[in-house]
Structure 1
């Protein structure tokens, strides 16, 4: 039986040393790949390209799409000026992923957004972002310092994620300083931190668009419950 193909959006990394200083590299953390391969699906990495026909072709071979973490989203895409605490951006990636989302929706394949993936999905559908949640009062720590497998804070689950996890509260890891400010109108919140930062959303209008602010791919080996996210995505991809 043919394995479903799960496409994963990538990052651009500029080499900073050696003979190739300044060269751009396409990369993704290996946890994204292992979380797919572990569940009897085929992971492919999508390089960032400009040509729209190439983007259509990338999506044409995919049975599901994961939008991975990475750079801050350029605030011009939600009509704001850059704040002084905006992190590194990659406009080329933003433009690419907005088109990638467009064609994934047209094909009606399942989409899973992780960290930045949640943010770019919210922007695509008309929402906005906090450029730096550290400027807000009374927020908990949302960007842990080292071990990606440490679960640093709790989130309250509802609706779609309550169905997947079978419990209404879990502990998650956390590596972000941006977050959803104005929620896109077609999204419903399904995970919330104790400081009311949105940690999970799903689309009320599409068969399966789910996005999380934490990194389940980094926990799928150490926390069996996190693997349910990828099992659910792959089950949807098989339909």
Structure 2
């Protein structure tokens, strides 16, 4: 029997979270992320923010990595000033997750970026972001849905060859692509909805939230790549 691969998932770090009689600082993650990894055949491990110097040691113990969604990336990381609708920075998360991404790329382990995670992947490779777009987060706190069309010949298209509707909630997007990244899916308005490295290890970013849907194919492909590696 083949051992299930260990997939690390980055987490939020929030202050004053309440459960039961407690209100404490917490490292937390929407349950959809670990459930998705588990349903796809992997073992899920939560990775709360830590010292960036420990990212390589952390990644060395993983078979695959997911960078989860969350707050806006601080624009300083791509040489820009914050615009009025850009959210407050999550500096500890930015530093930790950028270090995780770079360590995963250096080590060649399979890497999936989800929403913010896709944007961080782009920034880690020298790309930039559009700080606000309309139409992809219509109602605060409610995931929308829209169609995404794969780019023929890409890794994403080999995983999901048809146009699909995806759960979405974001107000920023990829602008200039990072080094060697290719767009592998688009929304109807032209927004880049997936990016990937065309060669080398399994590296994919999706702008939507697969943990909020029923389609397991992207994460099953990640788990398969992690198992093979």
Q: What TM-score do you get using the length of structure 1 for normalisation?
A: 0.87
> Is 2:222 aligned against 1:233?
yes
Residue number in structure 2 paired with 1:125: 125
**What is the number of equivalent residue pairs in this alignment?**
223
Give the whole-Å Cα distance in 1 for the aligned partners of 2:5 and 2:96.
23
Taking structure 1 as reference, are residues 51 and 207 closer, same or farther at Cα in structure 2, changes over 3 Å only? closer
Residue number in structure 2 paired with 1:143: 137
Give the whole-Å Cα distance in 2 for the aligned partners of 1:47 and 1:197.
30
Which aligned pairs between 1:53-92 and structure 2 lie closer than 5 A?
Answer: 54-92=54-92
> Is 2:200 aligned against 1:206?
yes
Give the whole-Å Cα distance in 1 for the aligned partners of 2:146 and 2:105.
32
Q: CA deviation at 1:20?
A: 6.0
Residue number in structure 1 paired with 2:29: 28
Give the whole-Å Cα distance in 2 for the aligned partners of 1:166 and 1:48.
35
> Is 2:172 aligned against 1:178?
yes
Q: 197-206 or 2-11, which moves further after superposition? A: 197-206
* Contact 1:202/1:210 (<8 A) preserved: yes
Give the whole-Å Cα distance in 2 for the aligned partners of 1:206 and 1:176.
29
Give the whole-Å Cα distance in 2 for the aligned partners of 1:230 and 1:162.
14
Give the whole-Å Cα distance in 2 for the aligned partners of 1:183 and 1:60.
27
Give the whole-Å Cα distance in 1 for the aligned partners of 2:117 and 2:149.
20
Q: CA deviation at 1:194?
A: 1.3
Structure 2 unpaired stretches of 5+: none
Give the whole-Å Cα distance in 2 for the aligned partners of 1:102 and 1:46.
15
Residue number in structure 2 paired with 1:189: 183
Q: 72-81 or 54-63, which moves further after superposition? A: 54-63
Q: What TM-score do you get using the length of structure 2 for normalisation?
A: 0.91
Deviations 1:60-80 (A, max 9, x none): 110000000001000000010
Comparing both structures, which one devotes a greater share of its residues to strand? 2
Give the whole-Å Cα distance in 2 for the aligned partners of 1:100 and 1:17.
28
Give the whole-Å Cα distance in 2 for the aligned partners of 1:116 and 1:85.
16
Residue number in structure 2 paired with 1:223: none
Structure 1 unpaired stretches of 5+: 135-140, 221-225
Taking structure 1 as reference, are residues 17 and 2 closer, same or farther at Cα in structure 2, changes over 3 Å only? closer
Residue number in structure 2 paired with 1:49: 50
Deviations 1:191-234 (A, max 9, x none): 111111110010124321100000011103xxxxx201111001
Give the whole-Å Cα distance in 2 for the aligned partners of 1:172 and 1:129.
21
